[in-house]
Amino acid sequence: MLTDLLNPTAHADNWLWALCVLLAAVVLGALLPVLPTGAVVSAMAALGHHRSWVSLGEVVVVGAAAAYVADVVLYTLLLRGAHTRLGRRLQRRAEAHGHLDELGERLSRHDVGTLVTSRLLPGARIPVLAAAAATEYPVVRFAVANVVPAVCWALAYALLGLAGRGVSDRPWVSVVAAVAFGLAASGVVSLVRRLRAR
């Protein structure tokens, strides 16, 4: 199966299925943060580069599109579902991180920059989206401003996938290295944030 994914000429359907799995994994992981979506993008980027540069580009496009759609759906749920059980749960989770008013103010002044930061910092996305919902940040404005963060996120994790690809010419080693780099990057950023918070 792995060799089929890596051959750019044979079994294009397998690669298409792999991209569909990537799309589903990123959307699901962004809506229900149980799956390390960045590591998934990194692994697929390593595989994509083994196939071709075009395949790598496809991974970036699919990853960015999935992240974008998931963010817009989650924001809409937060904005319109403040009185639902899911909305209240997400709001409580965001309030646990504190500073919703400050985040809302920052978002109104520097929306794209704040959204990029929240996309790249583990655990920051939901508080920023909750702050945007609390200040009733317009959905259309969010939809436009969120394009850049989704692309930056996909590119960042694709670069980690390229680093994993550089470790070995063996696809499975590249994938393992890419996943390790993705998880390590998230872990380091989370640790730095915790230390700064103290």
| Contact status, residue 128 vs residue 107, Cβ threshold 8 Å | yes
Q: What is the pLDDT of residue 172?
A: 83
Question: Cα dihedral sign for 75, 148, 159, 56?
Answer: positive
Span 144-161, pLDDT tens digits: 999 999 999 999 999 998
| Contact status, residue 192 vs residue 160, Cβ threshold 8 Å | no
Residue at token pair 């994509």:
48
Tally of residues, the chain: 198
Higher pLDDT, 13 or 39: 39
Quick one: pLDDT band at residue 183, thresholds 50, 70, 90? confident
CA distance 105 to 13: 47
CA 64 to chain CA mean position, Å: 8
Span 38-96, pLDDT tens digits: 889 999 999 998 888 899 999 999 999 999 999 998 888 888 775 566 666 666 665 65
| Residue 133, domain extent | 2-197
Over residues 125-143, mean pLDDT: 83
What is the domain count for the chain? 1
